[in-house]
Chains A and B, each alone.
Chain A
Amino acid sequence: MAAMDDHTTPNPAQAGVPQTKERATGSRGPWEHGEVGVLSAQQNESMEKWLRSKAIKLKV
């Protein structure tokens, strides 16, 4: 086995290395893929709120 460069190799003991999620090829997160809910043809509540300009309120 080749020597590993300890400057560039993530140490799983020190940080959670993201695991592969179903249908993903790499990292994980609290989010589903872009195809769920945020496309122009398939907007979820959050995207609709964003388009309706309801995400920020103004006190005028």
Chain B
Amino acid sequence: MPEVYNWQLGRKMLYPYEERHPKWQFAFVFNINRCIACQTCSMADKSTWLFSKGQEYMWWNNVESKPYGGYPQFYDVKVAQLVEQVNPGGQVWNTRVGRKHHAPYGVFEGFTIFDAGAKIGQAAIGYIPTDQEWRFVNIYEDTATSMRALVDGNDKSGFTAAEPWRSQGSSLPEHETFFFYLQRICNHCTYPGCLAACPRKAIYKRPEDGIVLIDQNRCRGYKKCVEQCPYKKPMYRGTTRVSEKCIACYPRVEGKDPLTGGEPMETRCMAACVGKIRMQSLVKIGEDGLWTEDRWHPLYYTIRVEQVALPLYPQWGTEPNGFYIPPRHAPRGYIRQMFGPGVDNAIDRYIVPSRELLAVLQLWRASQQIIFRYDVIPGPKVFETQIHGRKFEMYNDTVLAFNKSGKEIIRIQVEEPIYVRPAERITWL
């Protein structure tokens, strides 16, 4: 099996196909801290693409609760357990090697789904969820880990009475009684498990934007993609007997929506986000598969410069292009399992953001057009405080954002402007 380089793992890994990379890559950042699970994204997706017969249980976009929720149920724990069975106790991140551009989180020394798959004669290790596991998309939503179990002397929550400070349950920096929302769409991975698994070669990655699609004419519904995508985002449709998956609203990304006059536009789920947690763009990819340095690109800055957003389950080895600002209140150990060893750095930088990061975060959901570049005009200092013993200064900078053609599409300030309604416009009288 060929070897490919995975920058999120900091090493080469096995993959059924030779390394090839698109010129641009569809990528996104979700800020978990801001999500209220209103499911507007899910309904935007559902009403656009998933309203037909046979798609009743299909949610290309879903928002689930961690640790108990999942769509399909417990897919992540199950995939982790499958890999663990092949490589017991071997899922290790080596952070001693330090941070480098080609290995920003250290080196993962465990098995990816492809490494584990090779041991059992498959492209990738996986399983097919039962219909029941697909059926309840919001199951165990808002179910927190239980501290009551600890009080009863029954340690089901995973915390022991020997650590009394944990029994407080709800104090920062880490809540031991916790849940948080996880927003999920297809990650349009650099090394997709679904693509590796397909015996028909019906799944392909577009060279122009890295979007992963299933050719509906070639697919014969063998469900290997459903089995071997660890994120469980390809879904089988009984009425057509083929599989379907998130298409990244590619007509919008291509600029086919008349609303933007030919400029690339964000997907439906991104544009609908009420909580302003989502930003999506296209990032430049070099010949070597690494992100080309693009300092004034909002995603490059967030993911590669500040490293405040991290990939979801990077240890699975698909090099997902969905990145998350991890939840600041959840136990670090738990979220390291989900986002890798970069979690501590990401949360530290998010809690006390730099002047530039605070400015860039204002761009989330400020426009439906895809942002390709930003700029910051310095403004006056408006606020100063201490956060966890660290000095935080807020400047009312102005952030500009530009579309693919270089046209300015956003001009927004860090401090939200206050508008006072004039007396003659009072409406409650």
State the Cβ distance, B129 to closest chain A Cβ, in Å.
Answer: 7
CA distance A56 to B112 in the complex (A): 12
Interface range, A side: 35 or more
> Which A residues lie within 8 Å of B146 (CB)?
40
Q: Convert A30-60 into 0s and 1s, putting 1 for each residue whose CB lies closer than 8 angstroms to a CB of B.
A: 1101100011100100111011110111111
B128 in contact with A29 (CB, 8 Å):
yes
The residue of chain B having its C-beta at the shortest distance from the C-beta of A10 within the complex is B221
B129 in contact with A46 (CB, 8 Å):
no
The residue of chain A having its C-beta at the shortest distance from the C-beta of B94 within the complex is A59
The residue of chain B having its C-beta at the shortest distance from the C-beta of A23 within the complex is B132
State the Cβ distance, B342 to closest chain A Cβ, in Å.
Answer: 11
CA distance A31 to B75 in the complex (A): 10
> Which B residues lie within 8 Å of A15 (CB)?
199, 220, 222, 224
Describe A's contact surface by its main secondary structure.
Answer: loop
- Knowing A15-B222, A56-B91 touch, does A29 contact B129 (C-beta < 8 A)? yes
Size of interface on B: residues with Cβ below 8 Å to A = 56
B220 in contact with A8 (CB, 8 Å):
yes
Q: Convert A12-35 into 0s and 1s, putting 1 for each residue whose CB lies closer than 8 angstroms to a CB of B.
A: 001100100101111111110110
CA distance A59 to B98 in the complex (A): 11
A10 in contact with B132 (CB, 8 Å):
no
The residue of chain A having its C-beta at the shortest distance from the C-beta of B78 within the complex is A31
- Knowing A9-B220, A15-B199, A34-B132 touch, does A55 contact B92 (C-beta < 8 A)? no
> Which B residues lie within 8 Å of A7 (CB)?
217-218, 220
- Knowing A8-B242, A56-B315, A59-B96 touch, does A38 contact B74 (C-beta < 8 A)? yes
A40 in contact with B242 (CB, 8 Å):
no
Whether, in the assembled complex, B251 has its beta carbon less than 8 Å from a beta carbon of chain A, the answer is: no
The residue of chain B having its C-beta at the shortest distance from the C-beta of A34 within the complex is B73
B93 in contact with A8 (CB, 8 Å):
no
B336 in contact with A48 (CB, 8 Å):
no
State the Cβ distance, A24 to closest chain B Cβ, in Å.
Answer: 4
> Which B residues lie within 8 Å of A59 (CB)?
92-96, 109
The residue of chain A having its C-beta at the shortest distance from the C-beta of B109 within the complex is A59
B95 in contact with A55 (CB, 8 Å):
no
The residue of chain B having its C-beta at the shortest distance from the C-beta of A8 within the complex is B241
- Knowing A30-B127, A31-B78 touch, does A52 contact B222 (C-beta < 8 A)? no
Whether, in the assembled complex, B158 has its beta carbon less than 8 Å from a beta carbon of chain A, the answer is: yes
> Which A residues lie within 8 Å of B218 (CB)?
7
Partner of A8, one of B74, B78, B240: B240
A-B contacts, 23 of them at CB < 8 A, read A8-B242, A14-B220, A15-B224, A25-B130, A27-B130, A27-B223, A29-B227, A30-B82, A31-B78, A33-B133, A38-B68, A38-B73, A39-B140, A40-B140, A46-B81, A48-B156, A51-B158, A51-B334, A53-B158, A53-B331, A57-B91, A57-B93, A60-B95
Contact residues of A with B, CB < 8 Å?
Answer: 7-11, 14-15, 18, 21, 23-31, 33-34, 38-40, 43, 46-48, 50-53, 55-60
Nearest 5 A-B pairs (CB), nearest first?
Answer: A53-B333, A34-B73, A26-B131, A51-B158, A29-B127
Excluding A46-B78, A59-B95, 17 further A-B contacts by CB distance (< 8 Å) are: A10-B220, A10-B221, A14-B199, A15-B220, A21-B130, A23-B132, A27-B128, A27-B129, A27-B130, A39-B140, A50-B337, A53-B336, A57-B92, A57-B93, A58-B93, A59-B92, A59-B109
